[in-house]
Amino acid sequence: MRGGQIALAGNYTGVPDLDEDGKAEPADRTVDPSLETDLAILILSGEDGRPQRAWTAPGPGNDVASSVAFLPGEPALVATGSIQITADFTGDGQTGEGWVVCENRGDVFFAQYRLPERVTEARPEPREITLEASFAEREERPVSDLIWSGITATEVDIYRKGVLIATVANDGTYTDIMERGQVPRPLEYRVCAAGTGTCSATVGATP
C-alpha cells in the first residue's frame, strides 16, 4: 500500500473487466476456466476499495502474478510471478516496459507497470442497466424478446414476474418462449447480473 492506493496481484478466469468499467483489459475475450488462467494486477482505492486500474497478461497457459510493490519516488510498480509463452503486460503491442518472453513453461517474470498520471481519479459511476421487452405470437407460441445493456457480468439472471426463469450468457438478448394460455398478466421482466442484486428496472411486455 502507498498513500491512498493498494496494489494486489493474482490470477483470474472469465471476462477480464477487473476495474468494472465495462471494458475488458486488455483484449475483449473470455478466459476459459477449464483451460487456463491469466495473471492480473489491480490498483484499488485505499478509501473505499474500488478498482482504479487493472493490468492483465493474456496468453496460453496458467499465469499468475505472485507479488507486487510500488517503486519509491516513481509513478510505477513492479510485479513478479510465473507465466508461459509471451506476454505484453501493458497490452499496447509494444516491446516496452513489462514485455517478457518466456522460453519455458513456468518461467519467472519481473515486470514494471507505469501508473497513469490520473490513477487516483474517481472511478466512473456504474452504467445504468436498461431493458426492453416485446411480446409476439411466433409459430403459434407466445414469446417475449428481451434486449438489455449495461451488465458487465459474464452471465445474466432473467426474472419473469419476480421469478427466476433462466440464467444465460450475457450476450444482450434472450427470448422467453411460453406455453399458450400460460402467459401471466401483467407480463413483467427484470434482468440482473447473475447472482447479484444489480438489476434493471422491471419492464412490461404487452400481450
Q: Give one DSSP letter per residue of 46-102, joined into a string.
A: TTT--EEEEEEE--SSB-EEEEEEEPTTSSEEEEEEEE-SEEETTSSSSSSTTEEE-
Residues 105 and 9 in one domain: yes
What's the average model confidence in pLDDT over 41-61? 75
Residues 35, 110 within the same domain: yes
pLDDT higher than 90, residue 143: yes
Helix, strand, coil distribution of the chain in percent, nearest 5: 0, 50, 50
Residue 119 lies in a domain: no
Give the chain's domain count.
Answer: 2
What are the pLDDT digits (tens) for 71-106? 887 778 888 888 765 555 555 554 434 445 454 556
CATH number of domain containing 178? 2.60.40
* Residue finishing a domain among 89, 114, 139: 114
70 & 152 share domain:
no
| Predicted pLDDT at 132 | 95
Least confident of 16-25, 51-60, 112-121, 149-158: 112-121
Chosen domain end from 50, 80, 114: 114
Rounded Cα distance, 183 and 186, in Å: 9
- Strands (E) across 13-50 are located at 38-45
Residue 20 has pLDDT above 50, yes or no: yes
pLDDT of residue 62: 75
Shared-domain flag, residues 137 and 191? yes
Residues 159 and 67 in one domain: no
Rounded distance, CA 103 to CA 101, Å? 7
User: Which residue segment(s) compose the domain that 184 sits in?
Assistant: 130-204
Which of 81, 38, 92, 85 shows the shortest CA–CA distance to 63?
38
In this structure, the answer to whether residues 164 and 85 fall within a common structural domain is no
Is there a single domain that holds both residue 88 and residue 135?
A: no
Residues 199, 159 share a domain: yes
Torsion sign, CA atoms 34, 105, 68, 56: negative
Q: What is the pLDDT of residues 157-204, one digit of tens each?
A: 999 988 899 999 999 999 999 988 888 888 999 999 988 888 999 999
Does residue 122 lie within any of the structural domains?
A: no
Partner residues linked to 80 by β-bridges? 67, 110
Q: Which of 40-44, 124-128, 149-153 has the lowest mean pLDDT?
A: 124-128
Neighbours of 178 (CB within 10 A): 17
Reported pTM: 0.46
